[in-house]
Amino acid sequence: MAGGHLAAGAPEVHAAQAANPGDLTLTNGKFVDGRGQAATTLTVRNGRIFSVGKTVPLAPDARTIDLGGRTVVPGLFDAHVHYTRAGVNPGYEARRIERAFSIAELQEAIAERARSVPPGESITCIGGWNHTQFAEARRPTKSELDAAAPRHRVYISGTGGGTGALANSLGSAFFATKGVIVDPATGAVADAAAAVAALQSIQTPEDKLRGTTELNAHANRLGLTGVINGGNLADQELAFRLWREDKLTIRMRPLFPADSPQEVETRAVNNFSQSGRAVGDDLFRVAGFGERIGGTDPMSSQFEPTARMIARHGWLLQQHSISLKENDFHLEAFRSIAREYPIGKMRWSIIHLQAIDETRLETLKDLGCGASAQTWTYMGTAGGPPFRRIVDSGIPAGVGTDSTNVSALDPWLALFYMTTGRNVAGTLTNDGQQITRLEALRLYTEGAAWFSFDDHNIGSFVEGKYADLAVLSHDYLTVPDQMIRKIESVLTMVGGKIVHTAGSFARL
């Protein structure tokens, strides 16, 4: 009825708004997005949100799911993560270890994984955790790892905290055949890189595809439904393959590296532009260039010419920029390029931003660019990024984990860190920069989606957006701080398709 007048007595809901066969209505929920509680009911049609908070007349065979009062959030979106790299880690990853907070919970995570892994195979977790997160604040012993998975090799290595790498008895025996030295008493592995290489030496292409598929299932279980993926082209090929086979359950936005202007040209012409813009769809689509432009040195002389070529082709750019010195270097180049090209419209950003201040945020904002903060400091004691300052600046802002080599992938650990300022060990390391739970949720949904031009399509409960959502095990808004780290999804949807269920929803 846009622009028209309703006749007196016209029904509030006209025929076009009635639910169709095949529609799905979620009732009795607490739908919360970055703005607060949006509604208690939501209807999905053709993968998108058809109505929010309105009771629409249902077709006889329309499906209804009663959420039993549970809190629902938009699917979480990681604005910067080396996601596919974690998918190809060797062995069967027990990434649930990230959220183990005692030795017993560590053993439980390994034992749970062992139930779905053939005996004799390797259970691994490479990075994303360290032993300071356990109540005991110590490494597990070799016999504790044996007890958790007596019939499997175990190899786990921490990020930071001095944890190093550890193996159980069967793992040690395997490493011995590969010349990797393991302390017989403690299971401590002397050379983690050599251990990973040994595990990779028996890894098959099928293993990598399985690892990627299982990582997607793990992500969906945590309510994660989208990632802007930094990483190796070979790893991204696996997600691409799943997409072609209609098996991809997470929105994938790969970033491509570019060391030189020539590389930009080649990629823009050969890889990206066959269909006018990117090849792909809303499930798998190239985001643009990142995270290192002009080579691995963030302050390379190739940065500006390479970035300028990206601007000339109209592509999005994200640049790794940690220190204030790096921020200044990139802002200077951004300013120069902005005189010729509308880089704000291309949604350029600098990412990581461990200490960015108000002045620099203001400069970035004036350029129309975005600030993407990463939570890898959760693993350490140095604090940062300044979440409070970034949110208060009003700049387009999002958050990502940069996991899994340098941090945990689990979004609930990141949300815990952002809202409490407490690190992996529970120590207050980012005081003064805490943000509210709603602000953090916004950065992890619609805020993050800005960085791949997805904010109009996902990230909040608005009619017309995709039905990407997670029904939560606990109420994110009211649980005690410590419990945020234990939240997971009991029902996850991507584009209205159910990709994960648990508990009372398991039979859906």
- Kindly list the residues in this chain that would bind Zn ion in the complex (CB under 5 A): 230, 291, 402
SS3 46: coil
Question: d(Cα 440, Cα 436) in Å, to the nearest integer?
Answer: 6
CB of residue 258 to Zn ion, shortest distance in Å: 15
- For residues 322 and 395, give the distance between their C-alpha atoms in angstroms, rounded to a whole number: 18
Pairing of strands 71-74, 30-33: parallel
Instruction: Identify which of residues 33 and 78 has a Cβ nearer to Zn ion in the complex.
Output: 78
| Least Å from the CB of residue 402 to Zn ion | 4
Q: Are strands 153-157 and 165-167 parallel, antiparallel or unpaired?
A: antiparallel
DSSP secondary structure string, 87-124?
HT-SSEE-GGGGG--SHHHHHHHHHHHHTTS-TTSEEE
Q: Which is nearer to Zn ion, 83 or 450 (CB)?
A: 83
- Residue 255 CB, shortest distance to Zn ion, in Å, is 9
Query: Within a 10 A sphere around the Cβ of 225, how many other Cβ atoms?
Result: 29
Please name the amino acid found at residue 424.
V
Give the nearer residue to Zn ion in terms of CB position, either 56 or 406.
406
CA distance 380 to 136: 18
CB of 309 to Zn ion, least distance (A): 22
CB of 483 to Zn ion, least distance (A): 29
The full DSSP string for 240-269 is HHHHHTT---SEEEEEEEESSHHHHHHIII
Task: Kindly state the smallest distance separating residue 291's Cβ from Zn ion, in Å.
Answer: 5
Which residue, 82 or 218, is less far from Zn ion as judged by CB?
82
Largest CA-CA distance found in the chain, in angstroms, rounded: 85
C-beta of 399: minimal distance to Zn ion in Å? 13
Tokens of 143: 């016999």
Helix axes 192-200, 169-177, angle to 10 degrees: 80
Is-contact 130 160, C-beta < 8 A? yes
Strand locations in 112-236 (E): 122-126, 153-157, 165-167, 188-189, 224-229
* Cβ closest to Zn ion, residue 98 vs residue 291: 291
92 or 376: CB nearest Zn ion: 376
Q: Which is nearer to Zn ion, 291 or 446 (CB)?
A: 291
Smaller CB distance to Zn ion: residue 402 or 454? 402
Q: Closest separation between CB of residue 358 and Zn ion, Å? A: 25
Number of neighbouring beta carbons within 10 Å of residue 435: 23
Q: How far is CA 368 from CA 6, 303, 442, in A?
A: 41, 20, 19
In this complex, which beta carbon is closest to Zn ion, that of residue 409 or of residue 470?
409
Q: How far is the CB of 376 from Zn ion (least distance, A)?
A: 9
